Amino acid sequence: MEEPLIPVGLMSHTAHKPSHRKPRRSSSSTLAMRAGVAGGVLSTLAVAGASSSANAASEPVTQTIELPTLTADLSSQVAESAAATQQAAADYELLAERDAAAAKAAKEAKADLAEAKKKAAAKKKAEAERKAAAERAASRSTERTTLTASSNDVAAPASGNVGTVISFLRAQVGDAYVMGATGPNAWDCSSLVQAAFKQVGVDLPRVSQDQSTAGTPIPLSDIQVGDILYWGGAGSAYHTGVYIGNGQYLDAANPSKGVVIQDLSGYPASGAVRVL
């Protein structure tokens, strides 16, 4: 379509000048712009919300709980309870120490009492043994005085240990001498001595060597009735007999003599021991 021609005479005097005013936007354009801006804002908010939700899902939630503040009364009660607990522990420890000390003292007292009883028993036994020894010594002295004063051909009194030994020996006079024999009708020197002292409960060794060291060594100048005489060295003697008083002894001499009474002057002994 062709545009209509406008007559020159009818044109405005300003028609040839360009206009300085901005062209007006139509109302439809304004609405479209506003709708776009609003859509963008909503989109931005939606993205931000989604991002916040994602961050919230991936990061742990930390919650701060405020503890109640202790009051002055409650603090005082806690302190008193702690002090009471500490004092109770100290009391229990002290009580345990006292119990341990008491148990130790009781144990020591028991041991001391047992030791005291043991010492008292030992002292009593020793005193009884000393008394018995004194009585035996007095008895031996009386017996030996009687035996020494008696005749060699008269049997010794059959009383007391020494008297029993001498009586047994005299009863064997005339028996045979046989090396290794132990009675009742044949003897050797040491078996006769052993059998004589066995009558009073004294267990002597079997051979002369051991009999020569079986008792207390006695000088020959101090021998008494009932002492054992030996010939040869102490511990190596080859013959034994028993002193019966008045310078005589009784022994199983040899196969030719048998059991006899002999004088020490004819065959002096080497030494003597006392067992009674």
In a domain, 211, yes or no: yes
Domain membership flag for residue 164: yes
Residue 19: pLDDT above 70? no
Residues 272, 273, 275, CA angle at the centre, nearest 5°? 150
Within a domain: 167? yes
Among candidate residues 275, 254, 276, 255, the one with its CA nearest the CA of residue 267: 254
Burial zone of 204 (CB within 10 Å; 0-12 exposed, 13-18 middle, 19+ buried): buried
Count of structural domains, the chain: 1
In a domain, 184, yes or no: yes
Expressed as residue numbers, the domain containing 233 is 150-274
Task: Determine, yes or no, domain membership for 83.
Answer: no
pLDDT of residue 139: 62
Q: Among 39-48, 162-171, 267-276, which is the least confidently predicted range?
A: 39-48
| Residue 1 belongs to some domain of the structure | no
Residue ranges in the chain assigned as alpha helix (H): 27-58, 72-149, 160-171, 189-198, 208-211
More confident residue, 96 or 242: 242
191, 183 Cβ separation under 8 angstroms: yes
**239 — phi, psi (to 5°)?**
-155, 145
Please name the residues in contact with 250: beta carbons below 8 A apart, sequence gap of 6 or more: 166, 169, 170, 173, 241, 242, 244, 259, 260, 261, 262
Higher-confidence residue of 235 and 53: namely 235
SS3 241: strand
Residue 33 lies in a domain: no
Residue with more model confidence, 238 or 88: 238
Q: Report in angstroms the alpha-carbon separations of 186 from 23, 24, 167.
A: 178, 177, 17
Q: In the sheet that 259-263 helps form, which strands lie side by side, from edge to edge? A: 216-218, 271-274, 228-231, 239-245, 248-252, 259-263
Give the pLDDT score at 21.
55
Q: Which of 37-46, 88-97, 108-117 has the lowest mean pLDDT?
A: 37-46
The CATH number given to whatever domain includes residue 241 is 3.90.1720.10
Predicted pLDDT at 56: 46
- Say if 218 falls within a structural domain: yes
pLDDT at 208 over 80: yes
pLDDT at position 86: 84
Give 161's pLDDT tier (boundaries 50, 70, 90): very high
